[in-house]
Copies of this chain bind each other. A is one copy, B any other.
Amino acid sequence: MQEAIKTDLSATPEAALLARRHRLLGKAAPLFYDTPLHIVRAEGVWIYDAHGRAYLDAYNNVPVVGHCHPRVVNAIASQAARLNVHSRYLHETVLDYVERLTATFDGSLDMAVLTCTGSEANDVALQLARQHSGGRGILCTNLTYHGNTTAVSALSTLFSGGRSRSPEVRAVTFPDCYRPLNGLSGETLIDAHLDEIREAIASLKDEGAGFAGMLACPIFANEGLPTVPVGYWPRVAQLVREAGGLLIFDEVQAGFGRTGNMWGQQLAGVVPDIVTLGKPMGNGHPVAGVVARGALIEAFRDEVMYFNTFGANPVSCAAALAVLDVIAEEGLPGNARATGQHLADGMRALQARHPLIGDVRGQGLFFAIELVTDREAKTPAGQIAKRVVNDMKERGVLISRVGQFDNILKIRPPLPFSTSHADQLLSTFDACLTALGE
């Protein structure tokens, strides 16, 4: 998301399109790459530009079962032709979906509120936690993004220098075994982060905001997928709950099989009180939601007249049901594990040959490749990462970058990514890195 650049493209074939876009959406509407990609169609793990060129998509997690998967397209088309209306009448699709969805979680997470976007889901989660606790204060990390509503963007510290502008939000650091706080490790690293959380909660309470809970991605996707010491999350959960707050896991990026597990919380080893879902849920169709302990949702609905016109409509639910079907039938979490392992092995082989690769971190088909100019000093190579992302695109592979220094390559393809796709990604990356050294 960091690449909202305004290159002079007057000499490119896309100049006219870009000028129209600037006029209609604004010059700063975010756009990827130094030379933006003008795309016209997509299928599986491939995106095609207006000149007929195919790009291997190793970035987009929204089309989790593959771009334009016929099963999802057919579900949308046939339901849109039959019934597409709000949820104040009884219809079965929403019930079929929520039953299937909640069955994939721990039994305590047994009820849902459907929304249209992950931002809306996180906004509802904040409302649930604040209502339950009576407090307003929320913890998040200092390098994160959870969405764009007024309330949720107060947590989007990635774009506000690591701090929140809201007195109701405190940003804390997260454990990162590659760049650990004060060189600590294991339990002492956890202790240091827990102390910080404890102080942040105390500060929220001291300053009158109270404490409602902590909202975080269980795999810290926007923070750069750091390797977290074993035992961190259970201790955080205990601390947050003892302080009267709820643990909210934002599974918008981690969920739906991405990590080789259905949910990121399985890696974290704790069951949260509230889960928020989004991006891949409808493979691109705007559907999102909150899954939580039923008592929390009942209490919320008793007090707040929450209604979402498009949320829980039959078409969104049909799309989301088809996504669950395909994930199960095509064994996508298993494929994420297998292809992910193949990709991890290949990345580590490249790391042995390219000193620029400081760290390789992966969970299923979600990779963070940290580029550094000095392995000892771990000097972030942000500008080089930018060149790599653009060069990879020129060579036909789409990735992005993330992290406080923008030096972490973010690789997160649709899940039907095969070992041969992984090999193409690896050989292209190898060629990119080799060219950099020339």
Interface-located stretch among A29-37, A170-178, A225-233, A352-360? A29-37
Residue A424 is within 8 A (CB to CB) of chain B in the complex: no
Q: How far is the CA of A297 from the CA of B29 in the complex (A)?
A: 9
Q: Give which listed residue, B1, B17, B127, B301, contacts A92 with CB less than 8 A.
A: B17
Excluding A25-B112, A28-B301, A117-B310, 4 further A-B contacts by CB distance (< 8 Å) are: A23-B111, A123-B149, A279-B309, A286-B287
Do residues A151 and B148 form an inter-chain contact, with CB atoms below 8 A? no
Chain B nearest CB, measured from A77 CB (Å): 4
Q: Please, which residues of chain B bring their CB within 8 A of the CB of A68?
A: 80-84
Residue A105 is within 8 A (CB to CB) of chain B in the complex: no
Closest to A101 in B: B24
Q: How far is the CA of A76 from the CA of B84 in the complex (A)?
A: 12
Q: How far is the CA of A99 from the CA of B24 in the complex (A)?
A: 7
Interface size class of A (residues with CB under 8 A): 35 or more
Chain B nearest CB, measured from A90 CB (Å): 4
Q: Give which listed residue, B73, B81, B304, contacts A73 with CB less than 8 A.
A: B81
Do residues B88 and A32 form an inter-chain contact, with CB atoms below 8 A? yes
Evaluate whether A26 and B85 lie within 8 angstroms (CB atoms) in the complex, with A126-B150, A286-B116 already known: no
Do residues A88 and B30 form an inter-chain contact, with CB atoms below 8 A? yes
Interface-located stretch among A39-47, A196-204, A330-338? A39-47
Chain B CB within 10 A, most for which of A92, A112, A278 = A92
Chain B nearest CB, measured from A85 CB (Å): 6
Do residues A25 and B98 form an inter-chain contact, with CB atoms below 8 A? yes
Residues 115-155 of chain A, each 1 if its beta carbon lies under 8 Å from chain B, else 0: 11111100110110000000000000000000011110100
Of all A-B residue pairs in the complex, the 4 with the closest CB atoms, nearest first, are A77-B77, A150-B151, A28-B301, A286-B310
